[in-house]
Amino acid sequence: MTDTITLPGLIDVHTHLRVPGGEHKEDFVTGTAAALAGGITQILAMPNTSPPLTLPEVMADTLAAARRDVRCDVGLFAGASPEQIDQLPALAPYAVALKIYLNDTFGKLRVEDVPTLRACFQTWPREKLIAMHAEKQSVAVGIGLAATYERPVHFCHISRREEIELIADAKMRGLPVTCEVTPHHLFLDVRDRERLGMLADMRPVLGTPDDVAALWAHLHDTVDCIATDHAPHTLAEKQSDNPPPGVAGLETSLALMLTAVTENRLTLNRLIELMHTNPRRLYHLPAQPDTHVEVEMRPTTIRNEAMHSKCGWTPFHGRAVAARVKRVVLRGQVVVEDGMVLAQPGSGMVIE
Q: Which residues bind ligand DOR (CB under 6 A)?
A: 16, 48, 105-107, 133, 202-203, 231, 244-246
163 vs 229 by CB, closer to Zn ion: 229
104 vs 150 by CB, closer to ligand DOR: 104
Stretch that binds Zn ion, among 59-67, 79-87, 225-233, 256-264 (CB under 5 A): 225-233
Nearest approach in angstroms of CB 96 to ligand DOR is 18
- Rounded to whole angstroms, the Cα distance separating 336 from 32 reads 12
Question: Using an 8 Å Cβ cutoff, are 154 and 282 in contact?
Answer: yes
Task: Find, among 6, 27, 5, the residue nearest to 15 by Cα.
Answer: 27
- Rounded to whole angstroms, the Cα distance separating 169 from 198 reads 34
Cis peptide before 51 (omega within 30 of 0): yes
- Rounded to whole angstroms, the Cα distance separating 59 from 56 reads 5
Nearest approach in angstroms of CB 18 to Zn ion is 11
Residue nearest to ligand DOR (CB): 246
Stretch that binds Zn ion, among 80-88, 131-139, 169-177, 270-278 (CB under 5 A): 131-139
Question: Using an 8 Å Cβ cutoff, are 313 and 235 in contact?
Answer: yes
30 vs 228 by CB, closer to Zn ion: 228
Q: Kindly report the CA angle at 32 between 28 and 35, in degrees rounded to 5?
A: 150
Nearest approach in angstroms of CB 248 to ligand DOR is 10
131 vs 260 by CB, closer to Zn ion: 131
Nearest approach in angstroms of CB 131 to Zn ion is 9
133 vs 276 by CB, closer to ligand DOR: 133
* 229 is an interface residue for Zn ion by CB under 5 A: yes
Q: Write out the DSSP string of 9-48.
A: PEEEEEE---TTT-TTT--HHHHHHHHHHTTEEEEEE-S-
27 vs 229 by CB, closer to Zn ion: 229
Which residue from 99, 110, 133, 276 is in contact with Zn ion, where contact means CB under 5 A? 133
Nearest approach in angstroms of CB 80 to Zn ion is 13
Which positions lie near Zn ion, rule CB under 5 A? 133, 229
